[in-house]
Amino acid sequence: MLRIAVFVSGRGSNLKAILNHPELSNLIKIVAVFSDKTECGAFDIARSYSIETHVIGKGENKIDQSDLLKVLKNYNLNLIVLAGYLKLIPIDVVKYFENRIINIHPALLPSFGGKGMYGMKVHDAVFNSSAKVSGATVHFVDAEYDKGKIIAQRCVDISDVSSPEDIAERVLKIEHQLLPEVIKAFAENRVKIVDNRVVIKT
Ligand code: GRF
């Protein structure tokens, strides 16, 4: 069983897609969900599956960033999944979990990524660029926003959309397929780094 922590900031539809994926139930266990928000939709989903939740931040009942690595180590994790998490991961955590933290981004990196590019801001930028395709990217997390090596991408045709919301809807569907597929590949030990590129073995 691959032991996973999921980091979230919002409604948690990607968390739900992982939890509901029929091929993952025997391969992974989500042992904890972390958020920078005190409350969010993703926490409700986690609780409904009896998964432990933690708030990262300053104050009572919160985990300070400087204590995060210690808490994560206690969970004996194999993988950390950022699913709509809006904050940077502290550098000590990035280093300790090198090549074991992944993020889903709702566009085709390296375009439309980086600091401040999250949520509808991404889809607005894609819409205004008049791009004809968008998609989802799963990548390794390093010390910078959206910069780590790309693990998997999937495109969607947006040539006929009439709003950024249309793009968001199409991309989200792809996200819900791609992220569980990549997690499955990790669980089956099929994600390899070969000649400086990330390869998913079939
Ligand atoms: C997704 O589009 C994800 O790619 C982005 O934030 C959104 C989170 O959605 N980083 P949800 O909370 O999983 O519904």
Residue 157 to residue 175: CA distance in whole angstroms: 14
Domain residue ranges in the chain: 2-200
Q: How far, in Å, is the centroid of ligand 1 from the Cα of 172? A: 8
Fold adopted by 2-200 = Rossmann fold (3.40.50)
Residues with beta carbon inside 6 Å of ligand 1? 8, 10-14, 42, 83-84, 104-106, 118-119, 172, 175
Residue holding tokens 């904050």?
A: 87
Omega into 110 within 30° of 0, i.e. cis?
A: yes
The residue whose CA is least distant from atom 14 of ligand 1 is 13
Which atom from ligand 1 is nearest to the alpha carbon of 82? 10
**Alpha-carbon torsion (134, 136, 140, 145), positive or negative:** positive
**Alpha-carbon torsion (150, 153, 159, 160), positive or negative:** negative
**pLDDT by position in tens, the chain (length 202):** 999 999 999 999 999 999 999 999 999 999 999 999 999 999 999 999 999 999 999 999 999 999 999 999 999 999 999 999 999 999 999 999 999 999 999 999 999 999 999 999 999 999 999 999 999 999 999 988 889 999 999 999 999 999 999 999 999 999 999 999 999 999 999 999 999 999 999 9
Q: Are strands 133-140 and 101-105 parallel, antiparallel or unpaired?
A: antiparallel
Q: Which positions are catalytic?
A: 105
Segments of 9-51 assigned E as strands: 28-35
Task: Give the DSSP letter of residue 131.
Answer: -
| pTM score, whole prediction | 0.97
Segments of 94-148 assigned E as strands: 101-105, 133-140
